């Protein structure tokens, strides 16, 4: 346990004004981005804000963990973020990491494992929807009849159904079952380690609904979106970004930027309560070692099921809604091979797996092709994902079993029968929130319940986006609202 309290002082504001204590719980990317946004928020200048961040593990970053293994850079959690969502790259630039940003090489194919072969995903898919017709005509992923069924989208009327439904159900009606199972489903579900037939359309891919509303046909909408973006630029810009030294660089830069923030690591928050001390702060944060922190405001950036337990004494209604989001477990198995032992050309970024295939891995990244500097030239570095919603019991198996299963699946799909020269297994139990139909209504219920708890906010992957950019956006947004609230209180006190 460590309590880096040396820089602990109000981070802003004039001396003499009352101090506002904010406690952020959870030092993943959401909590870190929130702490940074809080201490740099313009409103924070009016309020003297004293910020503490409490993290259960002995390191910061949550799921962002970069390791060095046998001369290779291994991301044990996420390895990149979507370039189209600006919040992560903007934060990197703010932190002075602009020249460390790297993009995936454009034009490299992702493949789909289907019937013991790897098929390149047809180029031009937007949110899994074809925006170029010729590659769809040529793909071996669909039979002629299945291609005709896909084209039925061009004439199918809008769905008149109200309310939320699953991504798989919606896409299946428009494009046919085969397209869901082999094109859109594996890609979209891969993001959530989820099942397209279980995930909420409105909470995960609302743009598909907007496309249907505006253009009726998803294919026509995707073609129009491609035209607007400029077809000549097609494939020119990287889809995903990362940092040269891995995403751990972002965590390190955030930690260094949190000047004046009291960072308590290796310490769980066990309970939140109403403050009973003589101070004016309304909340108390009880740590595993028996200490309690007083807080005027709380930002809870832990997984939703932890947040539910913490908030239960203060907001039981919010806790019930928070518990309704299930989490899937997943494991990342990294395998290093001698390059000469792998006859596969490894041209592309890797593959996802079509639904119904007899494989236990759900995807494989060809790390040494996707990010060539992350492994020496003589090493082929591959990373397999195991475990997804409804299929995550395997994550509980021991390391040897996970490595054996991954190797078997690579033998079947890529013909690799060599023994890896090193392996690395990272387990992520209950890591991937599943936004089921009704997710947005549950979020509204949580927000309504929290309106009775002034100065309490929740943010993170369990709510409005699971990817790193969305987590940063949510952390920054929640911190901004708290800073406004504390600053506004200060301004009205000063005026009276």
Q: Cα(488)–Cα(496) distance, rounded to whole angstroms?
A: 12
Tell me, rounded to whole angstroms, the distance of Cα 452 from its chain centroid.
29
Shortest distance in whole angstroms from residue 461 CB to ligand FAD: 3
By CB under 6 A, name the one of 64, 250, 361, 367 that touches ligand FAD: 64
Q: In whole angstroms, how far apart are CA 368 and each of 34, 61, 339, 345, 392?
A: 33, 24, 10, 11, 27
The nearer residue to ligand FAD, 46 or 65, going by C-beta atoms, is 65
User: Can residue 467 be called a binding residue for ligand FAD (CB under 6 A)?
Assistant: yes
For residue 246, give both structure tokens.
């891995």
The nearer residue to ligand FAD, 172 or 350, going by C-beta atoms, is 350
By CB under 6 A, name the one of 170, 211, 428, 485 that touches ligand FAD: 428
Comparing CA positions, the residue from 324, 258, 321 lying closest to residue 55 is 258
By CB under 6 A, name the one of 24, 36, 49, 55 that touches ligand FAD: 55
**What is the distance between the terminal CA atoms of the chain, rounded to a whole angstrom?**
44
Shortest distance in whole angstroms from residue 158 CB to ligand FAD: 31
Q: 217-256: which residues touch ligand FAD (CB under 6 A)?
A: none
Q: 305-364: which residues touch ligand FAD (CB under 6 A)?
A: 306, 330, 332
* H-assigned helices in 292-396: 304-311, 316-323, 367-370
Residue with tokens 């009775």: 452
Q: Classify strands 283-287 and 269-274 as parallel, antiparallel or unpaired.
A: antiparallel
User: Can residue 52 be called a binding residue for ligand FAD (CB under 6 A)?
Assistant: no
Q: 119-178: which residues touch ligand FAD (CB under 6 A)?
A: none
Binding piece for ligand FAD, criterion CB under 6 A, among 26-34, 110-118, 150-158, 336-344: 26-34
User: Can residue 435 be called a binding residue for ligand FAD (CB under 6 A)?
Assistant: no
Backbone dihedral region for residue 100 (phi beyond 0: left; psi -120 to 50: alpha; all else: beta): alpha
Instruction: Report long-range pairs for 270-273 (Cβ below 8 Å, ≥24 apart).
Output: 271/310, 271/313, 272/298, 272/300, 272/310, 272/311, 272/313, 272/314, 273/313, 273/314
**How big is the CA angle at 410 (ends 404 and 415), to the nearest 5 degrees?**
125
Q: 65-104: which residues touch ligand FAD (CB under 6 A)?
A: 77-81
Binding piece for ligand FAD, criterion CB under 6 A, among 138-146, 299-307, 399-407, 416-424: 299-307
Contact criterion met (CB below 8 Å) for 33 and 24 = no
By CB under 6 A, name the one of 49, 281, 466, 478 that touches ligand FAD: 466
The nearer residue to ligand FAD, 175 or 432, going by C-beta atoms, is 432
Shortest distance in whole angstroms from residue 365 CB to ligand FAD: 9
Cβ-based burial of 296 (10 A; exposed 0-12, middle 13-18, buried ≥19): buried
By CB under 6 A, name the one of 10, 13, 28, 128 that touches ligand FAD: 28
The nearer residue to ligand FAD, 57 or 90, going by C-beta atoms, is 57
Binding piece for ligand FAD, criterion CB under 6 A, among 181-189, 202-210, 229-237, 302-310: 302-310
Sign of the CA dihedral running 388, 390, 395, 397:
negative
Max intra-chain CA distance, the chain: 76
User: Can residue 480 be called a binding residue for ligand FAD (CB under 6 A)?
Assistant: no
Shortest distance in whole angstroms from residue 42 CB to ligand FAD: 24
User: Can residue 285 be called a binding residue for ligand FAD (CB under 6 A)?
Assistant: no
By CB under 6 A, name the one of 303, 420, 437, 455 that touches ligand FAD: 303
By CB under 6 A, name the one of 389, 458, 461, 482 that touches ligand FAD: 461
Q: How many residues bind ligand FAD (CB under 6 A)?
A: 35
User: Can residue 56 be called a binding residue for ligand FAD (CB under 6 A)?
Assistant: yes
Comparing CA positions, the residue from 393, 388, 387, 429 lying closest to residue 406 is 387
User: Can residue 269 be called a binding residue for ligand FAD (CB under 6 A)?
Assistant: yes
Interacting residues toward ligand FAD by CB under 6 A: 25-31, 54-57, 62-64, 77-81, 268-269, 301-303, 306, 330, 332, 428, 431, 460-461, 466-468, 471
């Amino acid at each position: 346990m460590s309590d880096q309290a040396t820089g602990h002082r109000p981070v802003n504001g004039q001396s003499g004004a009352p101090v506002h204590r904010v406690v952020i719980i959870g030092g993943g990317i959401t909590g870190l981005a929130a702490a940074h946004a809080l201490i740099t928020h313009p409103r924070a200048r009016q309020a003297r804000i004293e910020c503490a961040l409490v993290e259960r593990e002995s390191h910061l970053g949550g799921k962002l963990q970069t390791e060095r293994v046998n001369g290779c850079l291994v991301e044990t959690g996420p390895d990149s973020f979507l370039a189209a969502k600006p919040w992560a790259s903007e934060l990197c630039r703010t932190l002075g990491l602009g020249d460390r940003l790297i993009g995936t090489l454009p034009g490299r194919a992702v493949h789909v494992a289907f019937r013991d072969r790897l098929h390149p995903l047809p180029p031009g898919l937007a949110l899994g929807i074809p925006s170029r017709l010729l590659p769809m005509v040529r793909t071996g992923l669909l039979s002629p009849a299945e291609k005709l069924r896909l084209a039925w989208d061009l004439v199918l009327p809008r769905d008149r159904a109200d309310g939320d439904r699953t991504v798989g159900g919606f896409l299946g009606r428009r494009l046919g079952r085969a397209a869901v199972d082999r094109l859109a489903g594996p890609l979209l579900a891969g993001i959530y380690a989820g099942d397209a037939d279980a995930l909420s359309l409105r909470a995960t891919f609302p743009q598909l609904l907007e496309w249907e509303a505006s253009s009726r046909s998803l294919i026509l909408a995707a073609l129009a979106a491609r035209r607007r973006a400029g077809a000549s630029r097609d494939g020119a810009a990287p889809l995903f970004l990362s940092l040269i030294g891995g995403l751990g660089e972002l965590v390190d830069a955030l930690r260094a930027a949190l000047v004046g923030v009291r960072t308590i690591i290796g310490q769980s928050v066990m309970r939140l309560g109403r403050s009973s001390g003589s101070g004016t702060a309304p909340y108390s944060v009880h740590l595993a070692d028996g200490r309690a922190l007083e807080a005027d405001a709380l930002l809870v950036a832990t997984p939703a099921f932890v947040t539910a337990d913490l908030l239960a004494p203060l907001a039981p209604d919010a806790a019930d809604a928070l518990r309704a989001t299930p989490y899937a477990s997943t494991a990342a198995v990294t395998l290093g091979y001698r390059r000469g032992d792998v006859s596969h050309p490894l041209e592309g970024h890797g593959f996802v797996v079509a639904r119904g295939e007899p494989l236990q891995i759900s995807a494989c990244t060809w790390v040494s092709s996707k990010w060539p500097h992350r492994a020496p030239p003589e090493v082929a570095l591959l990373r397999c994902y195991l475990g997804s919603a409804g299929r995550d019991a395997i994550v509980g198996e021991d390391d040897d079993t996970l490595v054996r299963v991954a190797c078997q699946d690579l033998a079947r799909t890529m013909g690799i029968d060599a023994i890896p020269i090193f392996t690395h297994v990272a387990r992520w139990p209950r890591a991937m929130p599943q936004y089921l139909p009704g997710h947005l209504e549950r979020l509204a219920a949580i927000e309504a319940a929290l309106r009775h708890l002034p100065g309490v906010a929740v943010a993170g992957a369990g709510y409005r986006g699971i990817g790193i950019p969305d987590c940063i956006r949510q952390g920054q947004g929640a911190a901004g609202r708290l800073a406004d609230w504390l600053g506004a209180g200060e301004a009205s006190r000063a005026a009276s």
